[in-house]
């Protein structure tokens, strides 16, 4: 099968075939292979090896599901199953997903393709797959109880429809949704235009936003959580576990973002202006687009942003809710900006494990060296060329470089700034006289920190995970 061979070549290690052992003998003969993928590295784009040509997408820290062509139908095989996903080095999470990973593999088809998707359920409870955004026969919509019975454990269902319109979609269960989506069941779907020159870009990245409530020190999300999530992920990875997005200077870049969390995410890109070129409803007419540097992606929405990567550098790409660029933390702790408690936190920690304060004038949160429970990531981390990035969660870097090869997605390393273009300490030499810094007319002097009583208290049991205000 040529498409599988090329997939192996392109994506490297971490792939094994589940094959037909999972399904009944009678069904095995007609079922396509269900490749699985366990590496959390970004797989090379899966070039089409049959059917109409298209420009494949890149799933950040993910992969695309190979298919087989049978009598003119593109056949895919998804296996819903428990998986282990590394959120970032140092943290493994027990999730549910598809074909070895959460999110499941990206499905790529072409407008007009007839698509047949086999779904085998290896979960301990029934499931279904809803094809979010597709225009399809009602009975293929995947809503348990409404359009089909649930797929019971051990059973395989088949879905079949024509991918009628090009665009940006996703798939997820419509069965015990809160539990199954809180466990990571979701995947991306791209329907490419019939004409590969239409909407063509040089680099096309896709990602799904999801959130988890994982108590520090544990390995499995709490699935009854409604709002108090503490890990905010891109493709079930958190910074610094996210690969950079790479672009050649002058490339036209598209980033497609789908949101399957319980809150909105204002997605922000530095150093560039973009337009929202598409939603899960289709492409936005050119006359209806406007320039942006942040676009809100609401719950259940998808946005395809497009821009020309015209500024060399390492540019932050992140959700603008600052607690979504942090990993699990305690935030019910006093803010002690301006209070000199050097050494005090350490002493208290001996008496009250887990004690911490924010805003220690001796260092930021990113510098706090807290003893962490096993399998827990620091709140803010990631080493950059100038020190700790103090980031976690929904954060990665767009790396724009001159002269990259087409199709080269490897990390080019940190940006080498031209001399004299980096913010630096003013030492009075060469940069002229220090201009006066006017103050607000009604400014009052800040209270002196010296001798101020410390309002420290012990964090409660829930402080490490509670995140109620979004």
Q: What are phi and psi of 106, to 5 degrees?
A: -70, 140
CB 321, min distance to Cu ion, A: 4
Q: What are phi and psi of 420, to 5 degrees?
A: 80, 10
CB 327, min distance to Cu ion, A: 13
DSSP state of 178: H
CB 35, min distance to Cu ion, A: 32
CB 404, min distance to Cu ion, A: 29
- CA–CA distance, 208 with 132 (Å, rounded to integer): 13
3-state secondary structure at position 324? helix
The strand ranges marked E within 89-137 are 91-98, 104-110, 114-121, 130-132
CB 379, min distance to Cu ion, A: 15
Nearer to Cu ion, 166 or 319 (CB): 319
Task: Give the count of beta carbons closer than 10 Å to the beta carbon of residue 21.
Answer: 8
- CA–CA distance, 104 with 62 (Å, rounded to integer): 8
Residues lying near Cu ion in the complex (CB under 5 A) are found at 265, 319, 321, 324
Nearer to Cu ion, 109 or 394 (CB): 394
User: Measuring CA to CA, which residue among 90, 115, 71 is closest to residue 382?
Assistant: 90
- CA–CA distance, 245 with 157 (Å, rounded to integer): 36
Q: Are strands 203-212 and 252-259 parallel, antiparallel or unpaired?
A: parallel
Task: Give the helix/strand (H/E) hosting 256.
Answer: strand 252-259
**Share of the chain residues as helix, strand and coil, in percent rounded to the nearest 5:** 10, 35, 55
CA dihedral of 374, 379, 383, 385, whole degrees rounded to 10: -170
CB 348, min distance to Cu ion, A: 32
Nearer to Cu ion, 146 or 298 (CB): 298
For tokens 């088809």, the residue is 109
Nearer to Cu ion, 265 or 467 (CB): 265
Nearer to Cu ion, 31 or 377 (CB): 377
Nearer to Cu ion, 132 or 324 (CB): 324
Nearer to Cu ion, 134 or 211 (CB): 211
Residue 129 contacts residue 187 (beta carbons within 8 Å): no
Nearer to Cu ion, 195 or 264 (CB): 264
CB 262, min distance to Cu ion, A: 11
Which residues have CB under 8 Å from 315's CB, separation 6+?
269, 270, 271, 272, 397, 398, 399, 400
CB 293, min distance to Cu ion, A: 16
């Amino acid at each position: 099968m040529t498409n599988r061979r090329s997939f192996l070549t392109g994506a490297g290690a971490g792939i094994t075939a589940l094959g037909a052992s999972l399904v009944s003998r009678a069904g095995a003969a007609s079922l396509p292979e269900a490749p699985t993928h366990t590496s959390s590295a970004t797989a090379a784009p899966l070039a089409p090896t049959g059917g109409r040509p298209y420009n494949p997408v890149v799933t950040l820290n993910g992969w695309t599901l190979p298919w087989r062509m049978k009598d003119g139908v593109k056949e895919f095989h998804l296996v819903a199953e428990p998986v282990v996903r590394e959120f970032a080095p140092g943290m493994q999470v027990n999730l549910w997903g598809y074909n070895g990973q959460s999110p499941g593999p990206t499905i790529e088809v072409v407008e007009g393709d007839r698509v047949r998707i086999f779904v085998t359920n290896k979960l301990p409870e029934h499931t279904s797959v809803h094809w979010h955004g597709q225009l399809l026969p009602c009975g293929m919509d995947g809503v348990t109880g409404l359009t089909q019975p649930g797929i019971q454990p051990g059973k395989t269902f088949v879905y079949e429809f024509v991918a009628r319109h090009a665009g940006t979609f996703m798939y997820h269960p419509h069965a015990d949704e809160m539990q199954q989506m809180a466990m990571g069941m979701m995947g991306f779907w791209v329907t490419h235009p019939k004409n590969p020159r239409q909407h063509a870009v040089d680099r096309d990245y896709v990602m799904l936003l999801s959130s988890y409530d994982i108590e520090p020190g544990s390995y499995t999300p709490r699935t009854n959580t409604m709002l108090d999530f503490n890990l905010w992920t891109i493709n079930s990875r958190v910074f610094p576990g996210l690969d950079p997005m790479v672009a050649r200077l002058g490339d036209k870049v598209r980033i497609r973002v789908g949101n399957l969390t319980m809150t909105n995410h204002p997605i922000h890109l530095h150093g560039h202006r973009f337009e929202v070129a598409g939603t899960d409803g289709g492409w936005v007419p050119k006359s209806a687009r406007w320039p942006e540097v942040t676009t809100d992606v609401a719950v259940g929405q998808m946005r395809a942003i497009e821009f020309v990567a015209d500024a060399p550098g390492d540019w932050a790409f992140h959700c603008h809710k600052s607690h979504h660029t942090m990993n699990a933390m305690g935030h019910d702790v006093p803010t002690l900006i301006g209070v000199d408690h050097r050494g005090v936190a350490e002493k208290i920690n001996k008496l009250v494990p887990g004690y911490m304060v924010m805003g220690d004038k001796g260092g930021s949160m990113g510098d706090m060296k807290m003893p962490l429970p096993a399998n827990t990531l620091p709140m803010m981390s990631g080493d950059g060329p100038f020190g700790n990035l103090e980031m976690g969660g929904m954060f990665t870097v767009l790396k724009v470089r001159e002269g990259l090869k087409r199709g080269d997605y490897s990390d080019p390393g940190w940006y080498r700034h031209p001399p004299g273009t980096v913010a630096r300490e003013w030492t009075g030499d060469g940069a002229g006289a220090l201009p006066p810094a006017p103050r607000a007319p009604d400014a009052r002097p800040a209270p002196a920190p010296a001798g101020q009583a410390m309002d420290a208290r012990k964090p409660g049991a829930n402080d490490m995970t509670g995140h109620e205000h979004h």
